[in-house]
Every structure is written in C-alpha cells, then in structure tokens.
A = this chain, B = another copy of it.
Amino acid sequence: MASQNADHADRLESSLSLSEVRRRDIAEARQNPAQTLRPTVPALEALLHELIPVLDHGFVRVIDYMGDDSAVVQAARVSYGRGTKKVSEDRGLIRYLMRHRHTTPFEMCAIKLHVKLPIFIARQWIRHRMASVNEISARYSILDNEFYLPSAGQLAAQSTDNRQGRGTVLEGEEAARVLEILREDALRTYRDYEFMLNEGETRDPARQGLARELARINLTLNTYTQWYWKADLHNLLHFLSLRADSHAQYEIRAYAEAILKIVAAWTPLTHEAFIDYRLGAVTLSKTAIGLVARMIRGEKITQTSSGLGEREWREFTAALGLEDL
C-alpha cells in the first residue's frame, strides 16, 4: 500500500516534471551562476538548460559542456607543437585538422544534452556507440502519454525509386486516414498500457496491475522517451555528418539540425570547418578524380566513356552539379 502511494507520488512528480517542475528546474539552474577557471563560452551559456523544441513534443537542451575552439587548438599544439597563437591562426589550424582528419584534438571537447525523442528515433540514435547515455527506464517509471505524429508536410508516400526513401506527400483522404490511424492506435495502446498497469481512471483496487517492465511492451514506437546523452566533439560531428545528411530520416535530421546550431554557438570555428570540409564535402574515388582531371583539361566524357556504372555516374555528376553535361 505504502509503495503504491509512493508510486502515485512518483507518477505525479513525473507528469509535472515535463511542465511546471521542469520549467522551475530550468529557471533555478539558470539563476545560480558560479565562478570558474575553465574555458567558458558565453554564446553557449546563453542557451544552457533552455529547451530547444524539435518535432511535435521533443526537445534538445544543453546540460553541460567542456572546452571550446581553443581547447581543440591547445590539444593539437601539444601533439604538433605549432607555434603562434593568434585567432586567425587558430582558425587555420582547426581547418587544417578538419581537412586532414586529425580527429583526436576534437575529442578534447564534450557536451551533455537532455533529449526528448520518439523511441523509433532513439533506436537509430543509439547506434552511435561512442557516447554515454542514461535513458528513462520504463521498468521503473511510467511513461507519459506523448507520441509523435508527422505534420501534414511530412506525411510522405514510399519512394518508388529508393527503397529507404520518401516520395511525394500524401494528400486528401489517404493522408487524413493515416493520421487518424496513427493517433488512434497510439491513444488506444496507451490507454491499455494504463489499464494493464492498473493506473489512471480505470484503476481498480481489486486488481494487482501488470509489472511495468511488461506493460510497456504494448506501447507503439512513436512514444516519446528521454535521455541524457554525452559525446565528445569528434563523435558528435561524426553523428552530425550522418544524421544531418539528406539520406537520414527526416525526424532524426530535425534533431541533428538543432544540435548543429548548438555547435555553431559553442565552437564556431569548428562548426565552419565542419560545414566546409565534412558536411558539404564530397569524396571522389580514384577513378572519379581521374575523370575530373580529364574534364578540366577539356575532354568530353559520358557515362559510357567514364567507366562508371549508371548509378555511380549519376552520383558523380550530381555531386559536381553537372547533371546537364
């Protein structure tokens, strides 16, 4: 009995925590600045603890960070002993490191995020192993009744030429029906989750309630979860290079883009170098480099004469913006 009361209290706190309590926590965390001798980034301090909304109910917020652009430079100078210390040279050094994939200095910075995200996105995200995670456990806690529904503009049909892609946006009756199904199934499975737990309005003292670790298996993959996620800057950029990419599923890209803005505030020189040498860069194969050299010298090359397969030729001309040639 006592423990059931305790559970109720937990439940209450947990449901508050995403609104009043959370807001109170954030305000509190932001009211107590301390003095530190550590590298500090005012532009990131301004964002610290604040919720950055993503998708319909998700968010990213920065909980803590370590290091800045100078910490990258400092670590590189330990290794390579480079001399001067002007800001313009910091920029040059960071660009050099990024260009030549000297990745270890970027490991010297780290960031810790609080993220609320749908479970199907969490399943993609967790594949990045070089990070630390503490996720809310549905063995211990009762999850909130919050689930992701795509906005009308994201309700895409299956692509007909790319097995993992999205095609045109669904419209009219089909779109309406799909949204209705997603909403109804999420509501029903959550209601049944509560019923099996013997929680909520249907609570009946005569029933015991199913164990939390079992009841949760009834939830759908668009249910929101939360975690603390910590990564160093090198691994964060690797994550972003894959998840801010156009091949990534839209929903995880939305998180990646929010994090990219955080990186821009935190380590602006690294961010700029990353956009130029990684996110916007193209890797050309040995064969493709040979083709480029010949084309620059004026040779006319077609797919047939290129030696590339059809798909690779298409990728090659698209990468160079030369589809018209």
Interface residues of A (CB under 8 A from B): 3-4, 6-7, 9-10, 13-14, 29-30, 32-40, 45, 48-49, 64-67, 71, 74-76, 78-81, 83, 92, 96, 99-100, 104-105, 107-108, 110, 112, 114, 118-120, 122-123, 126-127, 129-130, 132-137, 139-141, 148, 150, 154-161, 163-168, 170, 174, 178, 181-182, 185-186, 188-189, 192, 195-197, 207-214, 216-222, 226-228, 230, 232, 247, 249, 275-277, 279-289, 292-293, 295-296, 298, 309, 311-312, 315, 319-322, 325
Query: Which residues of chain B are within 8 angstroms of A289 by Cβ–Cβ distance?
Result: 280-282, 319-321
Query: Which residues of chain B are within 8 angstroms of A285 by Cβ–Cβ distance?
Result: 99, 276-277, 280-281
Copies held by the complex: 4
Main secondary structure of the interface of A (DSSP, over half): mixed
Residue of B nearest to A14 (CB): B81
* A202 smallest CB distance to B (angstroms): 11
Max chain B C-beta neighbours (<10 A), residue from A10, A120, A186, A195: A120
CB-based closest 10 A-B pairs: A280-B286, A107-B132, A157-B208, A34-B40, A81-B141, A217-B222, A129-B129, A66-B66, A75-B134, A139-B164
